[in-house]
Chains A and B, each alone.
Chain A
Amino acid sequence: MTVILGQTFTGISIGAVLLLIALGLSLTFGQMNVINMAHGEFIMAGAYTTYVLQKSISSAGMSLLLALPIAFLVSGALGALLEWVLIRRLYLRPLDTLLVTWGVSLMLQQLARDIFGAPNVQTRAPDWLTGNITVIGGDDPLTFANSRLFILSLAVAAVVALSLTLRLTPLGRRVRAVVQNRDLAEVSGISTSRVDRTAFFIGSGLAGVAGVALTLVGPIGPTMGTNIIIDAFLVIVVGGIGQLKGTVIVAFVLGALQSVLEYSTTVSVAKVLVLVAIVAFLQWRPQGLYTLRTRSLV
């Protein structure tokens, strides 16, 4: 029983990490159809931001909390810059974007290596995030890790903030208008290029936030982004492009699937099975779980 509950929580926490790293993509890839391979390096930028802040502020808790908004700005600015210099030239060629941003990702990795050194760096987690809470005591205790709970709440908060922004603010309305029908939005007086850049800023900024969260569970190094980027893209593809709820559901489903399979087989086999399951799922629903029904998207 404890094992099942424990694995359920593990599934949810894997899902939360997936959600957090995919959330930014749901905007840049999902809404704008830009395959940005440098997204992983924006996550890396967020993680290094935490590292730099911690070097100047000794309090681990303060620096972590401060890192959240600052990493958002740093990665967001990087994203906006990338959009302005390169991606806006490539909107009609989504697959070229993939290759170009891969070049960018190579350069950013080397840059990180030259600035921070090739070895991984460490950040200190605040004490209130390294422990765990005991849900069921006794001989075979069930515990939930604080860091995972923190990431889960961060992911939920980010989803709520993003969906509220898209639904309620004028900016969100403009983004949705551009996504659904670019030409119509343009003739309605919306500056599509400015909307694009803002959306890219937010999407990349969310990658930065994910980077801060990842410092709690994983390594901080030049290649940290490459390991997770494909998982993030798969979440969006399976969830359905342009649909936030698809992303959320799929992140948790994949997390649960991964955790169950890892427990019953091995990590490698689980990974292969998850990928095969995704391919099979897309045979069944090639447009993903949810599709945005508009006339412009074909």
Chain B
Amino acid sequence: MNLLKGRSARAAAGFAAAAVVLFAVAPLMLSDFRLGLLAKYLCTAMVAVGICLAWGRGGLLTLGQGVFFGLGGYAMAMHLKIADAGPGNLPDFMQLYGTATELPWWWQPFANPLFAIAATVLLPMTVAALLGLFIFRRRVKGAYFAILSQALAAAFAIWLIGQQATTGGTNGLTDIQGFFGYSLDDPVNQRMVYFVIAAVLLLLIALARQLIQSRYGELLVAVRDSEERVRFLGYDPANVKLVAYVVAAGMAGLAGALFVPAVGIISPALIGIVPSIEFVIGAAVGGRASLAGAVLGAVAVAWAKTTLSEEFPAAWTYFQGLLFIVALAFLPGGLASLAVYVRRRGAPKAPEQKAPVVPVGEAA
């Protein structure tokens, strides 16, 4: 019991430290441009929170998070484009490339801000629930699930590109000017977007931790480690997985929605196979089973990508590839396992416990 209390206290301290860094240190230390980049990284960290839950805890390698990120992003961007155009007008790209003289029916509800905001979370969750219902009932898992997710991501991206008149095609939705009445041109408002993103990230982390600590969280880990046993105990593993999958999708959707005002663009380039893998890589490098690890890993990998490509524009992919290889092949628990290792070395008296920090996970 003492141990549990210690862990919670440490988590609370970490949480407080993160809040201080995000709300005080970063805005003071970073230029507007770098703060904007940090906002972008924090969006990938939100996706990583969901991945930590679904993959780290539930053993589902969600290689299709780009789809949910995109659904959230497009839902938000569609509303902002309609708002930018003003009542009665078509968004700029429809005037250029479209044939329609009025908004397509499936765009119209997004004119309502409340509908759009709800859709950024509920749309991905609904899609995930429908998919998951079929996939998990049929016990598709492991490598199959991974490849299937990738196929879906590819299909969604190709479909979006093909519908140029109504989705902007490869261009995506660009040049987003305002965010619920606030001009994104203004650095003050950009800062505000950053604060919103940071706050939402912290909320999501708190929510995920709540889930992980709950009885459901225990069950999820049990499903990951031995699905059959859980089934014999009378639980339906499909439902357990479904919840994690749907929650992760909602988080990815929210991340996509907030990415739009932070970066000003959403496009199929953020949805396909490559970005979906990149979302997962961040969590994996940091440590998929640990919330802090996944979040810090996502931020670190995104930051490394920016820095390396700025320093070595012609050779940075070598370093990126090497980073993935070294981190994943030689540190299976991610960077978080290093921390655990150091902590154990520091306190040799602690009882040797077989905590599942390093998941072999994802029973094939």
User: CB within 8 Å of B: which residues of A?
Assistant: 29, 33, 35, 86, 89-90, 92-96, 98-100, 102-107, 109-110, 114, 226, 230, 233-234, 237, 241, 266, 268-269, 271-272, 275-276, 278-279, 282-283, 286-287
Contact = CB atoms under 8 A, between A and B. Distances in A.
Nearest to A90: B329
A283 B321 contact: no
Contacts, number: 123
Question: Counting chain A CB atoms within 10 Å of each CB, which of B161, B321, B323, B332 scores highest?
Answer: B321
B143 A283 contact: no
Interface string B350-364: 000000000011101
A95 B142 contact: yes
Nearest to B131: A279
Given A230-B151, A237-B148, A95 B143 contact: yes
30 contacts: A33-B364, A35-B146, A86-B329, A89-B329, A93-B361, A93-B362, A94-B143, A94-B364, A95-B61, A95-B361, A96-B328, A99-B281, A102-B277, A102-B281, A103-B321, A103-B322, A105-B321, A106-B320, A230-B147, A230-B151, A230-B273, A233-B147, A271-B158, A272-B159, A275-B158, A279-B151, A283-B134, A283-B138, A286-B140, A287-B144
Contacts of A279: 148, 151-152
A100 B325 contact: yes
A107 B325 CA distance: 10
Given A269-B162, A272-B159, A100 B318 contact: no
A24 B317 CA distance: 26
Contact of B321 (A92, A96, A107, A241): A107
A237 B144 contact: yes
B162 A268 contact: yes
A17 B134 CA distance: 31
B329 A96 contact: yes
B158 A268 contact: yes
Contacts of A278: 148, 151
Interface string B51-79: 00000000001010000000000000000
Nearest to A91: B364
Given A99-B281, A230-B150, 14 more contacts: A89-B329, A92-B360, A93-B360, A95-B146, A99-B284, A102-B324, A107-B317, A107-B321, A226-B274, A230-B154, A275-B152, A275-B154, A282-B138, A282-B140
A250 to B, nearest CB: 13
Contacts of A276: 155
Interface SS of chain B: helix, strand, loop or mixed? helix
B315 interface: yes
B7 interface: no
Contact of A282 (B61, B148, B154, B161): B148
A103 B147 contact: no
Nearest to A35: B143
Contacts of A226: 274
B280 interface: yes
Contacts of B277: 99, 102
A275 B142 contact: no
Of all A-B residue pairs in the complex, the 7 with the closest CB atoms, nearest first, are A103-B324, A107-B321, A275-B155, A106-B321, A268-B162, A103-B321, A286-B138
B139 interface: yes
A237 B360 CA distance: 23
A105 B150 CA distance: 17
Given A92-B360, A95-B146, A237-B147, A110 B321 contact: yes
Nearest to B326: A103
Given A86-B329, A92-B360, A268 B315 contact: no
Contacts of B284: 96, 99
Given A86-B329, A95-B362, A99-B281, A272 B158 contact: yes
A297 to B, nearest CB: 9
A110 B364 contact: no
Nearest to A98: B146
A103 B320 contact: yes
A275 B272 CA distance: 13
Contacts of A287: 144
A109 B320 CA distance: 12
B138 A104 contact: no
A103 B362 contact: no
Contacts of B212: none
A31 B218 CA distance: 34
Contacts of B362: 93-95
Interface in B302-353: 315, 317-318, 320-325, 328-330, 332
Contacts of A90: 329
Contact of B318 (A96, A110, A237, A272): A110
B222 interface: no
Interface in B102-161: 134-135, 138-140, 142-144, 146-148, 150-152, 154-155, 158-159, 161
Contacts of B135: 283
A286 B134 CA distance: 10
A122 to B, nearest CB: 24
Contacts of B144: 237, 282, 286-287
Contact of B328 (A100, A233, A234, A272): A100
Nearest to A29: B143
